[in-house]
Amino acid sequence: MAIDHLDERIIVLLAREPRIGVLEMSRRLGVARGTVQARLDRLQSNGVIRGFGPEVDPAALGYPVTAFATLQIRQGQGADVRAHLATVPEVLELHTTTGTGDMLCRLVARSNADLQRVIDRVVGFDGIVRAATAIVMENPVPLRIIPLVEQAARDRDGRE
């Protein structure tokens, strides 16, 4: 779906000040409250806005170490490996990919030493042939969406 400039401003405003209410948003954006409400409903039912879940910082929970592991899977064991990794709390996300590895997962751990335990648990499963781990040192660009939203709104403006 395409989003217009008003949608963009709503999302950006929400991203910057999540606690803001619909009424305050309508004031800031200079439109009627009902309009903002209708746009928000639409954005959510379209799936553009999935939700407003709390963003939890693993580091603050005691898991300051992040790593990415590339896994090679034995043919036909994909489903089992997926199920196995889903049971490991330190696996924050898992993707199946093309390229060198078959899967890529994001891990967190309490320390570099603890990372060994996590990796052992991850790879201690029959279907996994090999794992290559890259430890994250810095995170110059934390997960962000605003630039993309702005780009999407520009594209739409340009096309219509």
Partner DNA sequence: GTTTCACTGGGCAGTTTGCCCAGTGAGACG
Partner DNA sequence: CGTCTCACTGGGCAAACTGCCCAGTGAAAC
Query: How far apart are CB 105 and its own copies at their closest, in Å?
Result: 7
Work out whether 16 is an interface residue with DNA (CB under 7 A): no
- Between CA 18 and CA 22 the distance in angstroms is 11
Work out whether 26 is an interface residue with its own copies (CB under 8 A): no
Total Cβ atoms within 10 A of residue 48: 15
Out of 38, 61, 134, 136, point to the residue binding DNA (CB under 7 A): 38
Q: Mapping DSSP to helix (H, G, I), strand (E, B) and coil, where does residue 106 land? A: strand
Contact 150, 91 (CB under 8 A): no
Work out whether 156 is an interface residue with DNA (CB under 7 A): no
Work out whether 39 is an interface residue with its own copies (CB under 8 A): no
DSSP letter at 125 equals S
Of the pair 47, 124, the CB lying nearest its own copies is at: 47
**Which residue, among 100, 96, 92, has the nearest Cα to 66 in the 3D structure?**
92
- Return left, alpha or beta for 62; rule: phi > 0 is left, psi -120 to 50 is alpha, else beta: left
Work out whether 9 is an interface residue with DNA (CB under 7 A): no
Work out whether 23 is an interface residue with DNA (CB under 7 A): yes
Work out whether 83 is an interface residue with DNA (CB under 7 A): no
Using CB under 8 A, which residues numbered 59 to 78 contact its own copies? 59-63, 66, 68, 70
Out of 75, 76, 98, 158, point to the residue binding its own copies (CB under 8 A): 98
